Structure 1
Amino acid sequence: MPRELSQKDINLLKQVAPECKGLDCAGSGAPYKSILPPLANHFATSEKDFRERLEKLGQEDLEYLLSLIQNGSESLGCVPPHYMQVFIDLV
């Protein structure tokens, strides 16, 4: 279910992707609606980089991401499966 990123979401995205300057997808021009897809597809350069970025988050932030996934707010459709495995392994 698409959503507008909250300030907390934006802060999390900028924590794991400090180079993030705007909140629009470079490919589609549409605003980001989730945290993990842009991290995986626009900022992380590899699975290792994706993991290292996620490791910057504390337990509370990871639990927040999990709650977004559980309630359907965090879209995972655009996250490559091997990146999702990295997230699952980390959690």
Structure 2
Amino acid sequence: MPRELDEKDIAILKKLAPECGDLTCSGSGHMFHSILPPVSNHFSEDSEDFIRRLSSLGDDELTYITDLIRKGDESLGCLPVEDVEALVHLIHDRLSPEVAQNVISAYESGNACEH
């Protein structure tokens, strides 16, 4: 499922993690292939910080990410469970219960963490 981040992806990543200097994972040395895992695992201090960052997105940006998740283009496999739960609550509250359920289904489909 690795993908190359496009300009829109990079803009959202930089909005969520302005301290992101480059697009390389410090742990693996590989380029980031998703938006949420680096924000969760490299830049957020905890789940509260993760959700605070995601809350800065507009509904159109959040919808874009959920569309990527539903298509299997955005990885949730590397996120801690508490960050996935926080994401689902945000989507439920901001977009809809149906979209939140779609994200849960995508998460439960079991895409493993890819490095």
TM-score category (smaller protein) = over 0.9
Q: Which sections of structure 2, spanning at least 5 residues, go unmatched?
A: 92-115
| CA distance in structure 2 between the aligned counterparts of 1:50 and 1:60, rounded to whole angstroms | 18
Counterpart residue number, 1:32 = 32
Letter of the 1:6 counterpart = D
CA positional deviation for 1:75: 1.0
CA positional deviation for 1:4: 0.2
1:53-68 correspondence runs (5 A): 53-68=53-68
1:1-91 correspondence runs (5 A): 1-91=1-91
Greater C-alpha radius of gyration: 2
**Secondary structure at the counterpart of residue 28 of structure 1:** coil
CA positional deviation for 1:76: 1.1
Q: Percent identity?
A: 49
| CA distance in structure 2 between the aligned counterparts of 1:79 and 1:46, rounded to whole angstroms | 11
TM-align CA RMSD: 0.4
| CA distance in structure 2 between the aligned counterparts of 1:73 and 1:15, rounded to whole angstroms | 19
Say which structure, 1 or 2, has more relative contact order (CA 8 Å, 6+ apart): 1
**Secondary structure at the counterpart of residue 87 of structure 1:** helix
| CA distance in structure 1 between the aligned counterparts of 2:2 and 2:72, rounded to whole angstroms | 9
- Residues 23-82 of structure 1 show CA distances to partners (whole Å, capped at 9, x for unaligned) of 000000000000000000000001110011001000000000000000000011101111
